[in-house]
Each structure stands twice: as structure tokens, then as C-alpha cells.
Amino acid sequence: MRSQHSTGLRGWAALQRERLADGPLARAAKNDPEAAPGPIDFRGCWALAGAWAAASAGVQLGHSHQVSWAIGLWLVAVTGMLALLRPRHGRYGQSSTPSFAAPALACAAAALVLTQLVLSGAGTNPEALERAAADGSLVRVQLSFHATLRAGTTSNTFDPETGQTKRFTVEARVLSTAHRGIWHISGVPVRLSYPESRAPEIRLSESSTVEVLAKVSPSEPGDRQRFWLNAAANLVPVGSQPKTSVFQDMREGFVGACATLPQPARALLPGMVFGDRSGASDELNEAMKVAGLSHLSAVSGANCAMVLGFAVALCRMLGFGRLPTLLLGLGVLAGFVLLVGYEPSVLRAAMMGSIAAVGLHSSRGKNALAALMLAVVLLLAVDPWLAGEPAFQLSVVATAGIVLIGRRMAKRLNRWMPMILAEGMAIAFSAQVACLPVLVTLNPAFSLYSVPANLLVAPLISWITVAGTLGVVVVLALPALATVLVWLAGMPSMLVGITGVWIASLPGALRPWPIGVVGILLAWAITLGTLIAVGQVRPVTGSWISRMRFGVQGIVTGLLLGLVLPITAMVPAPALDWLVVACDVGQGDGMLINAGDAGALLVDTGRTPEPMAACLKRMKVKTVAAVFITHRHADHDGGLEAVGKGRSVGGLFYSVADEAKDPPELGDVQGTAPVAQQLGSGATGSAGTVTWQVLGPIPGGVFTDENDASLVIRFEIKVPHAPRPVSLLATGDMQEEAMGELIDKGLIGQADILKVAHHGAANGGVRTAPAVLPLIALVSVGAKNTYGHPSEVALEPLEANHAVPLRTDIRGTIIIGWDGAALHVSSLGPSPEP
């Protein structure tokens, strides 16, 4: 009897446990990760890691190695799967399942990616192209364009075949190559570059087919386009050229409708709707980058999620069922992809945007993470080159950050603020933290106000995206309605642009970041610490977990405060392979030139010693081969006493309007102090890998004040493995008439780098840029200066001649180096204002 009673009690208890397990509290605990966080299901990471590793390495392997690795990985994967099918896995038991499953999953994903590479012939190249790339001969090819033509913003003066004209670049696929009069079928992807003068009269589009005689150069290992083709003759259209698509006509019509908008809306709106940044100036693009808003002017997952969300909301308002809503939503998303252009980046954005939307609006966040991993594996299997693209990396980590960090952070922030504000802050912060490890590898700098900037403009983005997209849809059929929609979307986009420019001008908007392994580890530490702080990752379990979490939160808070305070600015820059450095000396000039073993050359020193001393220390300059003081104004020679402290100085050269004025003095110098020498036009010299020639001022030339006495010097820097020296033209503060005289006498020629005269003042002249045709223009200028520098009068000729203006008030100390093929630029961020 007692036994039956006990059995009944156990049955009743089991029934109650079942009911509780299915009750509302249990369901809430299951659905609410805050109530029952549990461990994260990272099993999909094995497949993700395998696919990513195979994609990164596989694109650099030859065909035979790809085949060998694919077969070997399939064998390992199948062996692991067979081991999983054995009952209890033999003598190892069921606890050994992860030991078999993890490598089997990783190897299967890797084998899938490598198989795709083998089937696509990614490791094979046409013999004609290989031969032409090796011996520099020309080859005739037929190409099919499969991407939008892009106009070049600079001219590659390191290539003797390249003129100083506007160039177009397009991604294409080789249909056939000619060898000894016979056409050989091919399919290799290439990148074609051609000057505007070689374009045919017929209008080319992303689906054109052309024949061209081209010079072939190999691409970098692992590049999707395996060859660079430079047109050596006119492009000849092949067959009947396809007419422009209706989607292209719609995009062009929308850009035309935006022409009625004021700036910066006219430049920003096409980019915010379908990624067309062609109308934006370099200054606006730079300001948006510094403010952390540049992602808004490119098609991203957020755009796709907004369009999908708008379609779903509209279907629900109309009372559609779940299945019709899903199908219509997917149809609208597919139409949006066709509208903005079905390039790989857009396709990726559509998939990632859908996953991000699911992760935000679904209560099953773990499934969203699994879906993200599966999507990445499939995308890499279809297109392995995505693994090496920064845009794809940022897309993946941003989506993962929103899924893992955003929801939990939004719930916590909702305790102190409305949910709509909490979600906006959580999304902006989680995406920023997740992207940090990738961003700092691209540019060692941090947008300090990125999160508040995105919060300020977040309420406008949905309106801009939806109204702007509707404007594109109706621009051909209903132009009057499209104009209304353009203005409805244009006014908020103008606020976005104004906000970006304003935030970029705030002190410390772009903070420096430690370069190299230290900076990358610091970024990953912040990301991992944030995951722990929000409870997504539990490093240990036990009664002291809460104390541990408080400790981790304190560490994360300290690291984030390190971004706000100028701590990273105190980290000295490593000895990089730099050529020219524009030091951030405020409203003044200060520039370093690398002379190799001879040390560095210094052109001007700024107004005060401290900024110049900091720049010399950051670049680890121990020896100064020569100092050039272009003229005797305080913002050029005021920091001279900082140069000799603890350093040897080889020479001191200067120019001055009043020769009776005392020459400049270095102060304390390690060793013997050089005697100051006044230079004039025609003087030459060298130090290490650098030679120089003084071009001005010329005797009896135009003279209005001390600025016109400025030394104008052409430097040539020898670079290992470069086809010729890198040239730099330093202009001091020489003004328009005096510089015009040098140009008229033929003394000013092309240079790769131009130090813009007089901090970009309007009286610096507009003739220098077309005479020099620089790749890079350095503008040394102080933040919030009262002179209005730099002037639009000075910047417009630079932009018109495709020069990239780099400003120290925005970027801080600017470092120009050589990456083995071209000039590259990095920056340390502006110094904090005193």
C-alpha cells in the first residue's frame, strides 16, 4: 500500500514538473536569455572556422594543391562521420562525440570550400596571360564586364604607361585569349583599367563585352581578380551592346532628381539609398569616416533589414497571412537587390540584413547565431574570396555583435530609458565593439563619437531608406512624386551630413590606436570583455561569479575609458617603413622625411616645441640629417629648440626676407651644432636616400611679404623595389603670384606628394595643383583656427585634379609609407586640444 502511495506521489510530482516545465514562467525562461542565459551553442563555429581557413588559404594555392587538400579533408570528414555512426563509439563511449564531431564538421566545411575552388578552376590560369604577365608582352583578349565601372580618383604615376588622365576600372571575366591567331576559351576573372581616351564612343555598362589589346600584370596572391589588364589600345565593342537596364535608368534618374537638393544632401542621398558615393567630396567622405557614419552611405545589412521590415509591416497592416507576408517580403528584398545592383557586396548585405532582423525581432537569439554561421559557411562555399574582403569581415562581426550583445544590452538599458532608445544605443555600441578588431587592422584609429553620432541620426535612417527607395522606384513613371520623395528623404540626409561634419570637428574625434599586435589584442580584449560583461560568456561557474562579473565590467570600463582619454596618444608609434610624416603641430607646419640610415630630414617645426618633440619621439627619430626652415614666421620655426634635444643635427638651412635678421638657432644639440645657412633657388644636396633641389624663391622675383620668401623644395626619396623615387614638393607659405612665377618659368613639375602652401589659404593659389598633379596633398592646419584654413578655393583644385587632400586637423599626424607597390597612408589621430 505504501509502495502504491509512493508511486502515486512520484507520478503526481512528475506531472506537476511537466506542467511547470510548460508553464509561462518556464517558457519565459526559455525564451528570455536574461532569465536563463545558459551556455552559447558554439558548435557552428567549427564549420565556420574550417570554411574561413580553407577560403583564406585556398585562394592562394595552385590547382594541384587545391585538389590534394580537398581530397584529404573529405577523407578526414568522412572518417569522423563514420565514427559518429558507431554505437557508443566503441570503447570510447558517447562522451567522445565532440571529439569526432568537431573535426568532422570543420573538415567537411573546409573540403566544401576547396571543392568549389577546384570546380571553378580558381587555381588555373590561361597560358597566354601567364606568359604575358611574366615577360611584359601584350595580349589580345575578349572581356565581359560584370560590375559597375568606377572612375579613378588618382593617376598611377609609378606606371610609365599611365597618363595623367581620368581612368576607369572595371571587374571583368576573360571570355577568350588570342595566341598565334587562335582564340582560346577562358574564364579567369581580371580587373581592366583604361584611360578615358581609350573608351569607345558607345556607352559601356556592367554587362558590356569588349575586345582589347592589353598589358598584363599579376595580382596579389589570393586576389579575386588574378590579373591586372591595362589597355594599350582602344576598346572595341563585341557584338550588339546591351541596352542599359531599367534599374540603371532608375538609379541615374534618381541621381538627377537629387541635383535640386542643397549640399550635403545632394551628395549623401544616392549613397544612403543605393551606395552611389560619386557625388561626395573627399572632405565630406573624410568627415563621415571620422564621425563613424561612413557606413550609412553604402548599402549594408541595415538597409536590407529596413526595406524588409517596411514590407512586412505593410503586409500585416493589410491583413495578409504569415506565408504571403514572408513571400512578399522576400520578393521586395529581391527587388531591392536588383535595384541597387546585384554585386557580391549587395547580395551579402541582403543575407546579413535578413539575419540581423531575425536576431533582433526573434526571441530565439541562439538560432539567429546558428543561422549566421550557416549563412557565412554557404557564402564562403559559393565565393571563397569573401574571406579576405574587409567589408565581408565587418558585415559578419557586426551582425554577430548585434545578435550576441545587442539584445541583452537593450534589455538592461531598458531599465533606465525607453526601449526605442535602448535598442538604438545597444545596436550602435554592439556593432562598434564587434567591428573594432577588424577596424584597427585597417586603420589604427578609433572614432570616439561613433556611438553617439549613430544614436543622433538613427531616427532618420529608416525614413531616408524607405522614402528614398520609393523615390527610385517611381522616378521614371511618376517624376513629380519622385521629386517629393527625394525632398522628403533629402532633408533628413542633410541633417545626417551636417551632424557628421560637426562631430568630425569636435576635439579628439579620431583617436589614435596602438599599431601592430598590441593594438589588435587590445581590441579583442574589449570585445571579449563586453561579451563577459553582458553575460553571454561565463568564464567560470560558481558562487563567486557575480564578483567576477563586476571585476570584468570594471576592466572593460577602464579599457573603454582609455579610448576617451588621450592614453593611446602616448603610445609611441613603431618604426614603420614610412617615407613622409606630416606632424600634427596645430596651426603651423612640421614635416619629416625618411633618409634611411642618415636619419630624417625636417621641414619646419611648428609654433611651439612640444608638438614637434612628440612627433620626433613617436617616429623614433634619433638623428636629424638636416633642418629646413622655409621662412621666419613663428608657426614654422617656433619649435626649433625641440629638434636638437638628445639628437645630432647635420645641417640647418633657412630662408628669410630680411637678411639682416638673426639666423635661426637650434639650442641644445648632441654633438656639434651646425651653422645656419641661407638657401636660394638652385641649391641642391642629399642625405642618405633623399636628394633635394631648391626651386624658389628666385632672385628678383615677386615679393609681397615674408611668406613669398618661403623655400620651395623638391625632394626625391629612393624606395627599395620602386621603379623610381617618390617625389615631394614642399611649398612653405609661398603665395599665388610668387608661385605662379615659378610655374611660368617651368620650375614646378609633377610630384607624388604636395605640401599645400600656406595651410590651404585662399591666397595660396589655384595653379599649383594642375601643375604638380599630386597623388596626395598634405594640409598642415590647426583645428578651429581663426583664419578659415583650409579654404574651399584651395581644396577645389586638388579635388578637380584627383588629389587626395589629407588634413592634420582631422587626421592628426599623417604617415605616408610604401607597401611594395604604391603609397599608403595611416594616421595617429588629432592631438587633444590644450
Q: What is the percent of the chain where pLDDT is above 70?
A: 71
- CA distances, 484 to each of 257, 475, 477 (Å): 10, 10, 14
Q: Provide CB contacts within 8 A for 364, sequence distance 6+.
A: 31
Distance between CA atoms of 390 and 446, rounded to whole angstroms? 16
Q: Domain for residue 244, yes or no?
A: no
Q: Which residues pair with 807 in a beta bridge?
A: 779
Q: How large is the average pLDDT for residues 400-409?
A: 76
> Residue 389: pLDDT band by 50, 70, 90 thresholds?
confident
- The whole-model pTM stands at 0.59
Query: Comparing C-alpha atoms, which of 114, 800, 71, 47 is closest to residue 374?
Result: 47
Q: How large is the average pLDDT for residues 688-711?
A: 87
Asked whether residue 754 carries a pLDDT value surpassing 50, the answer given is yes
* Domain span at 7: 2-29
Q: Domain for residue 71, yes or no?
A: yes
> Residue 329: pLDDT band by 50, 70, 90 thresholds?
confident
Asked whether residue 73 carries a pLDDT value surpassing 70, the answer given is yes
Asked whether residue 640 carries a pLDDT value surpassing 80, the answer given is yes
Distance between CA atoms of 814 and 829, rounded to whole angstroms? 8
Residue where a domain terminates, one of 215, 237, 259: 237
Q: Domain for residue 362, yes or no?
A: no
Domain of residue 143, CATH code: 2.40.50.140
Q: Domain for residue 149, yes or no?
A: yes
Question: How many helices and strands, by DSSP H and E, does the chain display?
Answer: 26, 26
How would you classify residue 716: left for phi > 0, otherwise alpha for psi between -120 and 50, otherwise beta?
beta
List pLDDT tens digits, range 342-387. Answer: 655 566 667 665 655 555 445 444 466 777 787 788 888 887 878 8
List pLDDT tens digits, range 459-471. Answer: 787 788 888 888 8
Instruction: Give the gyration radius of the chain's Cα atoms.
Output: 31
**H or E element in which residue 715 lies:** strand 712-717
Q: pLDDT value at position 766?
A: 84
Cell numbers for 123: 587555381
**∠262-465-367 over CA atoms, to 5°?**
155
Check whether residue 546 and residue 689 sit in a common domain: no
Check whether residue 564 and residue 648 sit in a common domain: no
Asked whether residue 548 carries a pLDDT value surpassing 70, the answer given is no
Q: Poorest-confidence range of 97-101, 448-452, 761-765? A: 97-101
More confident residue, 435 or 687: 687
More confident residue, 201 or 117: 117
Asked whether residue 132 carries a pLDDT value surpassing 90, the answer given is no
List pLDDT tens digits, range 775-804. Answer: 899 999 988 777 778 888 888 888 778 787
End-to-end CA distance of the chain: 89
Burial tier of 203 (Cβ tally within 10 Å: 0-12, 13-18, 19+): exposed
More confident residue, 747 or 241: 747
Q: Poorest-confidence range of 10-14, 467-471, 663-667, 726-730? A: 10-14
Q: How large is the average pLDDT for residues 720-731?
A: 87
- Strand pairing report for 753-755 and 776-779: parallel
3-state SS class at 211: strand
Check whether residue 189 and residue 98 sit in a common domain: no
Q: How large is the average pLDDT for residues 186-195?
A: 77
Taking the mean position of all CA atoms in its chain, how far away is CA 308?
27
Check whether residue 550 and residue 626 sit in a common domain: no
- H helix intervals, 443-588: 450-474, 479-504, 517-533, 545-564
Query: Comparing C-alpha atoms, which of 631, 635, 578 is closest to residue 612?
Result: 635
Q: pLDDT value at position 423?
A: 67
Task: At 84, give phi and psi (nearest 5°).
Answer: -70, -30
More confident residue, 652 or 173: 652
More confident residue, 3 or 545: 545
Q: Domain for residue 340, yes or no?
A: no
Q: Which residues pair with 653 in a beta bridge?
A: 628, 677
Q: pLDDT value at position 165?
A: 55
Q: Domain for residue 582, yes or no?
A: yes
Distance between CA atoms of 778 and 78, rounded to whole angstroms? 58
Q: How large is the average pLDDT for residues 48-60?
A: 84
Check whether residue 89 and residue 222 sit in a common domain: no
Answer whether 358's CB lies under 8 Å from 399's CB: no
Residues counted in the chain: 834
Query: Comparing C-alpha atoms, which of 621, 569, 568, 566 is closest to residue 590?
Result: 621
Q: pLDDT value at position 693?
A: 93
Total count of domains within the chain = 5
Check whether residue 57 and residue 182 sit in a common domain: no
More confident residue, 516 or 582: 582
Distance between CA atoms of 527 and 533, rounded to whole angstroms? 10
Q: pLDDT value at position 164?
A: 46
Query: Comparing C-alpha atoms, which of 175, 191, 180, 187 is closest to residue 141?
Result: 175
Asked whether residue 442 carries a pLDDT value surpassing 90, the answer given is no
Q: pLDDT value at position 34?
A: 40
How would you classify residue 306: left for phi > 0, otherwise alpha for psi between -120 and 50, otherwise beta?
alpha
Taking the mean position of all CA atoms in its chain, how far away is CA 144?
28
List pLDDT tens digits, range 79-114. Answer: 877 776 665 544 444 444 556 677 788 888 888 888
Q: Provide CB contacts within 8 A for 10, sequence distance 6+.
A: none
- H helix intervals, 1-146: 2-21, 24-31, 43-58, 63-85, 97-120, 127-135
Asked whether residue 422 carries a pLDDT value surpassing 50, the answer given is yes
List pLDDT tens digits, range 561-619. Answer: 444 443 444 444 444 468 999 999 988 999 999 998 889 999 999 999 888 988 998 88
Residue where a domain terminates, one of 120, 147, 163: 120
Q: Domain for residue 437, yes or no?
A: no
**∠113-114-120 over CA atoms, to 5°?**
95
Q: pLDDT value at position 626?
A: 93
Q: Domain for residue 651, yes or no?
A: yes
Task: At 199, give phi and psi (nearest 5°).
Answer: -80, 140
Residue in the block written with cell 599586435: 517
Asked whether residue 303 carries a pLDDT value surpassing 90, the answer given is no
> Residue 432: pLDDT band by 50, 70, 90 thresholds?
confident
Q: Provide CB contacts within 8 A for 2, sequence distance 6+.
A: none
Check whether residue 559 and residue 591 sit in a common domain: no
Answer whether 758's CB lies under 8 Å from 737's CB: no
Check whether residue 153 and residue 111 sit in a common domain: no
3-state helix, strand, coil in the chain (%, to 5): 50, 15, 35
Q: pLDDT value at position 175?
A: 77
Query: Comparing C-alpha atoms, which of 354, 302, 260 is closest to residue 464?
Result: 302
Asked whether residue 5 carries a pLDDT value surpassing 60, the answer given is no
- Strand pairing report for 600-605 and 590-594: antiparallel
Q: Provide CB contacts within 8 A for 232, sequence distance 6+.
A: 138, 161, 212, 213, 214, 215
List pLDDT tens digits, range 6-29. Answer: 334 344 334 334 433 443 333 333
More confident residue, 10 or 131: 131
Residue in the block written with cell 596651426: 587
Asked whether residue 31 carries a pLDDT value surpassing 80, the answer given is no
Answer whether 410's CB lies under 8 Å from 403's CB: no
Residue in the block written with cell 506537476: 16
Answer whether 311's CB lies under 8 Å from 319's CB: no
Check whether residue 68 and residue 158 sit in a common domain: no
Q: Provide CB contacts within 8 A for 636, sequence distance 6+.
A: 588, 589, 604, 605, 606, 629, 630, 732, 733
Check whether residue 7 and residue 81 sit in a common domain: no
Q: pLDDT value at position 287?
A: 79
- CA distances, 722 to each of 20, 305, 726, 818, 819 (Å): 74, 46, 8, 9, 10
Q: pLDDT value at position 775?
A: 87
Answer whether 84's CB lies under 8 Å from 100's CB: yes
Distance between CA atoms of 591 and 607, rounded to whole angstroms? 13
Answer whether 369's CB lies under 8 Å from 43's CB: no
Answer whether 444's CB lies under 8 Å from 826's CB: yes
Q: pLDDT value at position 430?
A: 75
Residue where a domain terminates, one of 216, 237, 258: 237
Check whether residue 644 and residue 566 sit in a common domain: no
List pLDDT tens digits, range 217-251. Answer: 766 666 677 777 878 778 887 765 555 567 777 88
Cell numbers for 44: 557552428
Q: Which residues pair with 209 in a beta bridge?
A: 144
Q: Poorest-confidence range of 613-627, 672-686, 795-809? A: 795-809
Check whether residue 87 and residue 152 sit in a common domain: no
- Count of CB atoms situated within 10 Å of the CB of 217: 16
Q: What is the DSSP letter of 279?
A: T
Distance between CA atoms of 595 and 615, rounded to whole angstroms? 16
Q: Poorest-confidence range of 288-292, 496-500, 620-624? A: 288-292
Mean pLDDT of the chain: 75
